[in-house]
Amino acid sequence: MALTAKTARRVQGIVGKIQEYMDIRFDHASRVNPHIRHIYEDIRWQQLMSLQLVLESSKAWGPDRYYVADVLCEDNELRKRSLFTPTDQNSILNEIINIKEKQDSAKRAGQLPIRDMRTFYTALEPSLERVVELIQTWIWWDLADACDLVAFDHQYQLFQKVLTIKMEGPVVDHYQRVFRKSASEISPRMVVDYEFSRMEAILHRIRERRKEDQGHEMIVKRDPKEEKPQGEPYNYKDIQALGAPYNYKEVQIKKLEALVEQCRAAIKK
């Protein structure tokens, strides 16, 4: 089945967030090991395309099928949790990370020696296997945050709309289904409060996830000390030109909190 425009936007949004995270992580990694910088662009492109295929695939829950990207960006926590649970039949873990099989396991009939991104790059250069595993693990670490950021962006835009939208026609029909109330029982303030609470819920999920982060999972970012002329690239290998390291996702939360507070102030006006 063809992707809807909404699903396609979610796919591109998630891939874009993952690329942003991945680039920052790789800047950190290449400062530690500069020898890996030359192979990054090709591996990144292939991994992001692989991720896009996963997001555009569908999974079955009962008689119905849902796109992975839609499940990841919507509110059904049971379906979302099943995608992230390694033992669930709908888990996407093995689609994101190419798990290495035991060396002594028998080769299955018809199985090709090159069957995933890990074995492809290992065939080219055995030392690249760990780099591929690292990048795939980054994607797994960051996927839930990327999806929540896409959902937050959508929710923020929706909140801005309901502040001034007229409660009539399809809008009223939608919120009648949401609240299970008649049109006369639904007020604009109810709608605004509802959409604001959904935005707060997304922020809460991201905050809770930060409490579970371990040191090696952090995104370490260092910004240039001085601005460069537009179009002139930064040399991230020049450590002296970079500021102090910080946890990028913690800074990101502060920006989301500021947006939520702006929305809270808009409600009070």
Chain mean pLDDT for the chain: 90
Per-residue pLDDT reduced to its tens digit, 180-225: 999 999 999 999 999 999 999 999 999 999 999 999 999 999 998 7
- What domain count does the chain have? 1
* C-alpha count within 13 angstroms, C-beta hemisphere, residue 222: 19
232 inside domain:
yes
> Treating both helix axes as pointing N-terminal to C-terminal, what angle do 248-268 and 128-162 enclose, rounded to 10 degrees?
10
Euclidean distance between CA atoms 207 and 252, whole angstroms: 10
Q: In the structure encoding, which two tokens stand for residue 223, read together? A: 């910004």
pLDDT, residue 226, reads 72
Per-residue pLDDT reduced to its tens digit, 78-130: 999 999 999 999 999 999 998 876 554 555 555 668 888 888 888 888 888 89
**Residues spanned by the domain of 43:** 5-99+114-268
Beta-carbon contacts of 151 under 8 Å, excluding residues fewer than 6 positions away, are 73, 74, 202
167 inside domain:
yes
The distance between the two most distant Cα atoms of the chain, rounded to a whole number of Å, is: 69
Mean pLDDT (whole number) for 161-183: 92
> ∠218-220-221 over CA atoms, to 5°?
145
104 inside domain:
no
Whole-model pTM above 0.95? Answer: no
CB 135 within 8 A of CB 47: yes
pLDDT, residue 100, reads 75
CB 221 within 8 A of CB 248: yes
State the distance between the two ends of the chain, measured CA to CA, in whole angstroms: 45
Per DSSP, 243 falls in state -
Q: In the structure encoding, which two tokens stand for residue 127, read together? A: 């030392």
206 inside domain:
yes
**pLDDT above 90 as % of the chain:** 74
Q: Which residue has the tokens 């309901």?
A: 162
130 inside domain:
yes
Other beta carbons within 10 Å of 9: 16
142 inside domain:
yes
Parallel/antiparallel/unpaired status of strands 58-61 and 64-67? antiparallel
Asked whether the predicted pLDDT for residue 235 surpasses 70, the reply is no
pLDDT, residue 228, reads 62
Per-residue pLDDT reduced to its tens digit, 13-55: 999 999 999 999 999 999 999 988 888 999 999 999 999 999 9
Mean pLDDT (whole number) for 215-244: 75
165 inside domain:
yes
Euclidean distance between CA atoms 77 and 42, whole angstroms: 34
